[in-house]
Chains A and B, each alone.
Chain A
Amino acid sequence: MTRYLLERTLAAVPTLLALTLVAFLLTTAARGDPALEALQQAGDVPTPETLALYRRQLGLDQPLPVRYARWVAGAARGDLGRSYLSRRPVGAIIGERIRATLILGGSALALSTVLGIGLGTLFAMRHDTWIDHLGRLVTIVFASIPGFWLAIALIVLFGEKLRLLPVAGFGLDRHLILPSLALALGPASSLMRLTRARMLEVMGQDYVRTARAKGLGERAVAGRHVLRNAAIPIASLLGLRFGHILAGAVIVESIFAWPGMGGVVLTAISGRDLPVIGGYVLVAGVLFIGANLLVDVCYALLDPRIRLGAPGAGR
């Protein structure tokens, strides 16, 4: 197990390096002179002297590979440079917002897992009945509803008309319900689909017939044998969907006035605040990679062959 986890962690290192490259290139991708741009974005009138000084301060007088190495070294210590707009450290700007995004993302991920695997299992167990056919339509419709539109609809319905739930602001209570729902529906739809397909595939296996033959009830077969064996691709899809949830959070957070990273990103985009954009991409990417590492841990928990390092395991 330790060896497997060590291998997976090492395998994530090149991905992480690739990510730092993308993020760094984004911070340097200014169309003209980044120093000039930074000063203008901050509303200053640049003179040759301030420009030269600022360029030295930002390290822009160094060649690109040197700047990349410095940027990565800084990022490893949590130093992502300073925002062009507010002049505050990017690490601090993102750091104070990340918790709210993680809470919302985690809650949406949990909700989509429950919805997706639950309904997907139901559709598979009722294969080729009207429930299954309806499910097919539901899956497609869920995948086609934009999260932000669902968010507005939920606000109008539950907030303004029924006055049941709060529609804005942060809280670990009922405040979480509507934004999580708005974020979870899309990922839930693809999970439903995959769960259904995988379960149908596994249901054709010999060991499932054996389980039925020895008199296990349909539910026990589904829970103990089918779902467990269908779980690995579902877990990898969950890891991928976490990326969608992170991205979708930018939009949903802004609608619900949720104090996560979304607001920071939007301000940075409209103000072309490149250090913040690069920093955000790095942080979101690290979270994404981390989630997928967690998925690898789940593989090991789900499949003893992976845990024990058996050859040919982990399909």
Chain B
Amino acid sequence: MAAPLDRAGPRAGSTGARLVARMRRRWLGWAGLLVLALLLLAALAAPWIAPHDPNAIDVTRKLEGPSASHLAGTDHLGRDLLSRLLHGGRTALVLGLLSVSGSIALAVIAGGLSGYFGGTVDLLTNAVFNVLLTVPGLILTLAILGVLGTGQLSLLLALIGADWAGQGRVVRGAVLEAREQGYVEAARVVGARDLYLLVRHILPNVTSTLAVLATLDLAGVVLTVSGLSFLGIGVQPPQADWGTMLSDSRPFAGSYPSLMLLPGLCIVLFAVGANLAGDAIRDLLDPQRR
């Protein structure tokens, strides 16, 4: 399926021009990775570098502008905005990594077994994929949240439950392709067993696919979580989260725009970083697009 994106066109010009274009693309990709890495680092270090307790309320100092003690100002409860942004990044990071690794792990197991063994296993797994994919992802997330009730664990399950089937189908395709390669056949002939073949020969061939799926999913998860938290059915207050910060800021957005701009900027930067990084990995690993 996936139509090749960003293939250099026929009018791409001289080799030199094409090289420059490719460098520029790489440059964007590196910038994306850098932004993502900085955000992740800041999120990881949040408990140590945050100047204040993100939940410490001080109503005498509410809605203040930037100052020496509150570098980004304070929110409507006098909480330090910078500390909340940092800790919000931590929330996004933890949820993002857990849900992406969860759904990718499921996708690898289901898609891998289905693509490798074929037959009945494939038929059944594919049926499950198809059933889940009849409902648009975010709607499935909402529905699972509705069934499980709100909470951190349900949120995680809802995110994984909505994402793994689509990823599993992609993994299945990649495994099907890898299985037909000559060296896999050769390894089989010399007596390699299924598990060994899967882990040593097939898995390395789908890692590039997985890396792309995971980075793009990371961007998607952060966007989804912030939206759900904004609606009050994602991360629950008082835990600092970019989405809940935005919903807190809603009544003040007109008069105190930084309350709304800063968390939004963090979300956008995170998603841009992950999207650019995903693209860059795709460009880097796929020889056809080089």
Q: Does B40 touch A at the CB level, under 8 Å? A: no
Expressed in whole angstroms, the minimum distance between the Cβ of A42 and any Cβ of chain B is 16
Q: Which B residues form the contact surface with A (CB < 8 A)?
A: 3-7, 9-13, 17, 21, 24-25, 28, 130-132, 134-140, 142-143, 145-147, 149-150, 219, 223, 226-227, 230-233, 246, 250, 253-254, 257, 260, 264, 267-268, 271-272, 275-276, 279
For this complex, 8 residue pairs linking A to B, each with C-beta atoms less than 8 Å apart, are A18-B131, A22-B131, A140-B276, A145-B268, A146-B223, A156-B257, A201-B3, A247-B138
Complex interface: chain B residues within 8 A of A15 (CB): 130, 134
Task: Report the bound CA distance from A160 to B255 in whole Å.
Answer: 10
With contacts A128-B12, A140-B276, A269-B145 taken as known, whether A246 is within 8 angstroms of B136 at the C-beta atoms is: yes
With contacts A144-B275, A147-B227, A251-B231 taken as known, whether A201 is within 8 angstroms of B246 at the C-beta atoms is: no
Q: Does A176 touch B at the CB level, under 8 Å? A: no
Task: Report the bound CA distance from A288 to B139 in whole Å.
Answer: 11
Expressed in whole angstroms, the minimum distance between the Cβ of B34 and any Cβ of chain A is 15
Q: Does A36 touch B at the CB level, under 8 Å? A: no
B146-A18 in contact (CB<8A): no
Which 8 pairs show the lowest CB-CB distances between chains A and B?
Answer: A243-B136, A144-B271, A247-B138, A200-B9, A269-B146, A204-B10, A18-B131, A277-B146
B246-A148 in contact (CB<8A): yes
Of A49-57, A106-114, A190-198, the one with at least 4 CB within 8 A of chain B: A190-198
Expressed in whole angstroms, the minimum distance between the Cβ of A235 and any Cβ of chain B is 12
Task: Report the bound CA distance from A281 to B131 in whole Å.
Answer: 13
Task: Map CB proximity to B onto A263-291 as digits: 1 under 8 Å, 0 otherwise.
Answer: 00110111011100110110011001100
A29-B147 in contact (CB<8A): yes
Expressed in whole angstroms, the minimum distance between the Cβ of B18 and any Cβ of chain A is 8
Expressed in whole angstroms, the minimum distance between the Cβ of B169 and any Cβ of chain A is 13
Expressed in whole angstroms, the minimum distance between the Cβ of A104 and any Cβ of chain B is 15
Task: Report the bound CA distance from A141 to B32 in whole Å.
Answer: 11
With contacts A127-B9, A194-B3, A246-B139 taken as known, whether A22 is within 8 angstroms of B134 at the C-beta atoms is: yes
Complex interface: chain A residues within 8 A of B131 (CB): 18-19, 21-22
Task: Report the bound CA distance from A152 to B267 in whole Å.
Answer: 14
Task: Report the bound CA distance from A141 to B134 in whole Å.
Answer: 28
Complex interface: chain A residues within 8 A of B11 (CB): 127-128, 203
B5 nearest in chain A by CB position: A197
Task: Report the bound CA distance from A226 to B192 in whole Å.
Answer: 49
Residue in A152, A193, A201, A273 whose beta carbon sits within 8 Å of that of B253 in the complex = A152
Q: Which A residues form the contact surface with B (CB < 8 A)?
A: 15, 18-19, 21-22, 26, 29-30, 124, 127-128, 133, 136-137, 140-141, 143-149, 152-153, 155-156, 160-161, 193-194, 196-198, 200-201, 203-204, 233, 243-244, 246-248, 250-251, 254, 265-266, 268-270, 272-274, 277-278, 280-281, 284-285, 288-289
A149-B143 in contact (CB<8A): no
Complex interface: chain B residues within 8 A of A273 (CB): 146
B227-A251 in contact (CB<8A): yes
Residue in B4, B24, B142, B147 whose beta carbon sits within 8 Å of that of A250 in the complex = B142
Expressed in whole angstroms, the minimum distance between the Cβ of A13 and any Cβ of chain B is 12
A274-B137 in contact (CB<8A): no
A247-B10 in contact (CB<8A): no
B24 nearest in chain A by CB position: A133
Task: Report the bound CA distance from A26 to B132 in whole Å.
Answer: 12
Residue in B142, B223, B250 whose beta carbon sits within 8 Å of that of A265 in the complex = B142
Q: Known A-B contacts: A127-B11, A161-B254, A251-B227. Give 20 more (CB < 8 A).
A: A22-B134, A22-B140, A136-B25, A140-B275, A146-B226, A148-B227, A149-B267, A149-B268, A152-B246, A197-B5, A201-B3, A201-B7, A203-B9, A204-B9, A246-B139, A270-B232, A277-B143, A285-B135, A285-B136, A288-B134
Complex interface: chain A residues within 8 A of B147 (CB): 26, 29-30, 272, 274, 277
B3-A233 in contact (CB<8A): yes
B134-A152 in contact (CB<8A): no
Complex interface: chain B residues within 8 A of A201 (CB): 3-4, 7, 9
Complex interface: chain A residues within 8 A of B130 (CB): 15, 18
Residue in B10, B143, B253, B268 whose beta carbon sits within 8 Å of that of A144 in the complex = B268
With contacts A194-B3, A197-B7 taken as known, whether A288 is within 8 angstroms of B136 at the C-beta atoms is: yes
A21 nearest in chain B by CB position: B131
B230 nearest in chain A by CB position: A148
A282 nearest in chain B by CB position: B135
B254-A160 in contact (CB<8A): yes
Complex interface: chain B residues within 8 A of A146 (CB): 223, 226-227, 264, 267-268, 271
Task: Report the bound CA distance from A277 to B264 in whole Å.
Answer: 29
With contacts A128-B17, A197-B7 taken as known, whether A284 is within 8 angstroms of B275 at the C-beta atoms is: no
Task: Report the bound CA distance from A221 to B239 in whole Å.
Answer: 56
With contacts A251-B230, A284-B136 taken as known, whether A272 is within 8 angstroms of B146 at the C-beta atoms is: yes
Residue in A144, A148, A203, A204 whose beta carbon sits within 8 Å of that of B272 in the complex = A144
Complex interface: chain A residues within 8 A of B4 (CB): 197, 201
Interface centre among B10, B232, B279 (most CB of A within 10 A): B10
Task: Report the bound CA distance from A137 to B58 in whole Å.
Answer: 41
With contacts A21-B131, A22-B135 taken as known, whether A149 is within 8 angstroms of B246 at the C-beta atoms is: yes
Complex interface: chain A residues within 8 A of B233 (CB): 266, 269-270
